[in-house]
Amino acid sequence: MNFDFDAGFDDDTTQMRDMVVRFARRELASPGCFDDAGDFRRRWRLAGKQGLVGTSVPGEFGGSGLDAVAAAATMEALGYGCADTGFAFSVAAHLFAAVMPVVEFGTEEQRGAWLPALSSGERIAAHAVTEPEAGSDALRLHTRARAVDGGYVLNGSKCFITNAPVADVFVVQAATDARGGFFGLTTFLVQASTPGLTVGRPYDKVGLRGSPTADVHFDDCPVPAGAVLGAEGAGASIFSSSMKWERTCLFAAYLGAMRRVLESTVEHARNREQFGSPIGDFQAVSHRIVDMLGRYEGARLLLYRAARSLADGGADEIGPALAKIAVSEAAVQLGLDAVQLRGALGVLDGEAESLLRDALPARIFSGTNEIQKNNVARALGLGRRRPVARR
């Protein structure tokens, strides 16, 4: 097995993918845990010079202008070449959850002010939506934005915010209508240096340890009217759009990590001998590897189908949800299988146990897999309470 596989990519995308793999292997090696903000930014700037943090940003604002398929291919290559899946996750979260909302909903002034630096690696963005009591129920946020002369004042707290310890700007979802509902949320672009904004200590996580994560607090934090992204009340629409990008293109990084571990597992099965034969000769081992490959390939097909729909401007809600479910579940199971097939070596520090730890959060972030199933059922016209016929 090698990385030379076809997903209908054109020559430019194939060459770009191979270049990203070589770059990531050469420049993005790290211990795989966030403990040095300076080194994190050093690698981030390198990734920016390579075009990785702005792949889907239009060229006029310093990005590469790639569509969703090519952007997913880039993230897959990054996940394959960079053994620090947490770093790849941070890049993808920055781009798809925080930068793409500015691309799609920002004013010309907002785009010009933020996108060039966010695309070059000079600045880092974070998407602040999750709260202690509003994770899956994103329409009932407790963070409030109170209108005042010239703008708003934010009060509240966010938790589990990817890139928070290193972010220069936050894309913040807050309630401008206390009654909640679809039109009760508004999105703000808030600079990290704004008075009243504080970031907590980085979390010590089980997985994605190379991705810095922390809480964010707003205490009478002033934001000007020009910091509103889209329009007041458009927050839910902006959030939904960003999740389509995230549930599709971000999860491509996991495909790359899965492929990397799958290849090393095959190599291990070919070379590890027990009872006088390579363990790959045993049917229990070979069949498990075939199952690993099948899950990987099936998840990959779903993801790129969703990416193609997104690139074509489709309004598909089912595709991104199914892709997110398939990739995350396949990554967890592939990690379990890779650990099992390595025996005692699998529970030592290495890429098999790292994939498993990094995959576990994938079933939770971007909307839990249970919520994704609810979304798919709702799109199919299921899960609604049927009115009772009156007699």
Catalytic residues: 246
Could you please report the per-residue DSSP string of 260-328?
HHHHHHHHHHHH-EETTEEGGGSHHHHHHHHHHHHHHHHHHHHHHHHHHHHHTT---SHHHHHHHHHHH
Strand partners, 56: none
Strand partners, 217: 157, 198
Range list of H helices, 50-153? 68-81, 85-92, 100-105, 108-120
- 36: CB partners within 8 A, 6+ apart: none
Backbone angle region of 156, left / alpha / beta, with phi > 0 → left and psi within -120 to 50 → alpha: left
Count helices and strands in the chain by DSSP H and E runs? 12, 10
The span from the CA of 318 to the CA of 182, in Å, is: 20
The span from the CA of 338 to the CA of 333, in Å, is: 9
User: Which whole-number Å values give the CA distances from 94 to 97, 177, 349, in the listed order?
Assistant: 6, 27, 28
User: Which whole-number Å values give the CA distances from 152 to 141, 173, 225, 231, 238, in the listed order?
Assistant: 16, 13, 7, 13, 19
Q: Which of 309, 334, 337 shows the shortest CA–CA distance to 321?
A: 309
- 99: CB partners within 8 A, 6+ apart: 53, 54, 56, 57, 115, 118, 119, 125
Taking CB atoms within 8 Å and a gap of at least 24, the contacts of 2-7 are: 2/263, 3/77, 3/80, 3/259, 7/73, 7/300, 7/304
The span from the CA of 328 to the CA of 335, in Å, is: 11
